Structure 1
């Protein structure tokens, strides 16, 4: 008599349960590890997760984004992060847009912002300074340390800054001229991941 096949049990590499805000923070960190692995390791330990968990969270996120049945970006963020902490209207050129902001425990003074066009399409998704929070005011190159500033903060500090295309969808660049502590002005490129400064080249 043939035996019935045993039901398959999920292996340790197949997590169950919803994708959580903690998982999303690990996705942010995974991209930043390319530039600042030491800072990422410190943040990961603060969250109490392993390197394998961070990689798995990123793998699950990529699978969600690339799935042919994937929901739209705006709906995906709401399903993962919940209702936005803040929803505000923002004027971009001639268009009225909607900015949705969520808190990010790793960076209490920042918010994850998703900017929606009038038709509901996501125009931008990155970290910004929280409303009412006091941001940095960099004046020299030495002030631009990793994770210290957002794209907007560097662009305002060193006018005119020229936007550069990033090497990945979650990356941005700014080209500008700024003085160092000795007063020597240099042409620089600031590289950002998810809107947060990673390094100066």
Structure 2
């Protein structure tokens, strides 16, 4: 994913929840898969394990609070005005795609799909417009944090979506050749839209 820029420490618990805190929330979900990558990213943010736990605690409190603002409004409050907005048609449904840059992943964007009633349909990391995606041809190319859900689905079509193991997790089932050209059954697991690990049958 490229080198991670350093940043100042996240805000204290009493200050507004912002972009740095939100990145720690994403990392908290990814920590179940790759502690080493998360540790590197956390250090790049100048954050401690306690900071990450506190950010996740505050985020969960915002999500679960009775009478809390809508998910769409919450993202605008935390991340600010989207870098870009675009109209999308998905089947017979129409929505708006909002995207924000995140310093940890400069070649990605955090995307939220918002329905006509303001409901959030999806929230995950996608490739930034104009940023070259990875070359995905074999199993060996499917390394942690190397690609997004849609990139893996396109590279190894047809891919079959499976039920995720937790909120903000996705799984895809597909076949892919290994380095010798032998096709294998694969289940790829993603957190917040970013590849975490693969299981090969």
Using the size of structure 2 for normalisation, the TM-score is: 0.92
| In 1: Cα distance, 2:78 partner to 2:14 partner | 15
- 1:9-88 equivalences under 5 Å are 15-88=13-86
Matched-pair contact (CA < 8 Å) for 1:138–1:157: yes
Aligned-pair CA distance for 1:137: 2.2
Alignment length (residue pairs): 188
Q: Runs of 4 or more off by more than 4 Å in structure 1?
A: none
Report if aligned partners of 1:158, 1:178 keep a CA contact under 8 Å in 2: yes
**Does the aligned pair in 2 maintain the 1:95–1:118 contact within 8 Å?**
no
Aligned to 1:192: 190
**Cα deviation 1:85-134 (Å, max 9, x = unaligned):** 00011110122210000001100000000001122211000000011111
Instruction: Give structure 2 stretches of 5+ with no counterpart.
Output: 1-11
TM-score, L = length of structure 1: 0.92
SS of residue in 2 equivalent to 1:100: strand
1:146/1:198 contact within 8 Å kept? yes
Gaps of 5+ in 1: 1-13
* Cα pair 1:155 1:161 within 8 Å, conserved: yes
Question: Over aligned residues, Cα RMSD in angstroms?
Answer: 0.9
